[in-house]
A = this chain, B = another copy of it.
Amino acid sequence: MIDMQKQPDYRNIPIDQVGIKNLKYPVRVLDRSNGTQHTVASINMYVDLPHHSKGTHMSRFVELLHSFRNDLELSLPTLSRILVEMKKILGAKSSHVDITFPYFIEKTAPESHSPGLVDYSCRFLGTSNEHDEIDLISEVVVPITSLCPCSKEISTHGAHNQRGEVRLATRFRKFNWIEDMIELVEQAASCEIYSVLKRVDEKYVTEQAYNNPKFVEDIVRDIATALNRDDNITWFELSAENFESIHNHSAYAYIASTKEGIVAGA
């Protein structure tokens, strides 16, 4: 049976990334409180393809993933091993993984201490180059409460507030818990979000937000300030989006790191 993918190619065009996209897979993720947690990921896996090869072997990506089946833990060592293996089994010089998954943290309500889980969308982006150097970006999307400083200032009572979403991608020197990045973001919000809030808690979060008004501009600046001070963070990219309660569009702010560290890839 002929191997079409192995045929020579004469167009002289190397391909930057080729592979599989949007594969759903159950995974385990390191959990600061419980060791690991089970979740479900959407996975992209790509390698480069040299100009002289017609195609890559798509089934090998899924086979590789499945070889980890009983232990697919998204730790740095496992991701590194997957990135190196991908290059080996596909004869490539570079490899990329892009893994998105919901992550759950148990939080207790601020006054009643009732426990509940909050979900965060997280993402690991890994790349390995021809020198087997691994570049890892970790991203969290954090739902928050934001309360408008302008609305508070000009209004006799109340202030418009809304759910917002902060997206923070970081590169770092040594291992960084997802939980640490989430907490850093939540401290910059008007108030953090919970899944269970009894009346005493609802009073607390309402007043906390009212006493702590923030524009999207304030939120990204406060997070950037904290990240700039943190030597473990070598690069970041950061946005805040408010699903405005008074409009049907969002308010948005974005800051890219000016740290003299590693420069962001694609």
Contacts and interface: CB of A to CB of B under 8 A. Distances in A.
Interface of A: 1-5, 9, 11, 13, 15-26, 37-40, 44, 46, 49, 54-56, 58-59, 62-63, 66, 69, 102, 104, 114-119, 143, 145-163, 191, 193-200, 202-203, 205-207, 209-211, 215-218, 220-222, 224-225, 228, 241, 243-256, 266
Contacts of A198: 59
Contacts of A159: 158, 206
> This chain: how many copies in the complex?
4
B248 A118 contact: yes
From A11, A119, A245, name the one whose CB has the most chain B CB atoms within 10 angstroms. Answer: A245
A149 to B, nearest CB: 5
A244 B206 CA distance: 12
A247 B195 contact: yes
B162 A217 contact: no
Contacts of A253: 15, 17-18, 49
A71 to B, nearest CB: 14
Given A11-B222, A15-B217, 12 more contacts: A15-B254, A18-B217, A24-B104, A24-B249, A25-B104, A26-B104, A46-B254, A119-B248, A151-B203, A155-B207, A156-B203, A191-B246
A243 B203 contact: no
Contact of A66 (B116, B147, B205, B221): B116
Contacts of A228: 13
Q: State the majority secondary structure of interface residues on A.
A: mixed
A3 B101 CA distance: 38
Nearest to A225: B11
Contacts of A266: 256
A198 B117 CA distance: 39
B155 A206 contact: yes
Contact of A255 (B13, B158, B245): B13
Contacts of A154: 1-2, 4, 199, 202-203, 206
User: Which 3 residue pairs of A and B lie closest in terms of their CB atoms, listed nearest first?
Assistant: A158-B210, A38-B38, A24-B119
Given A154-B203, A155-B210, A145 B221 contact: no
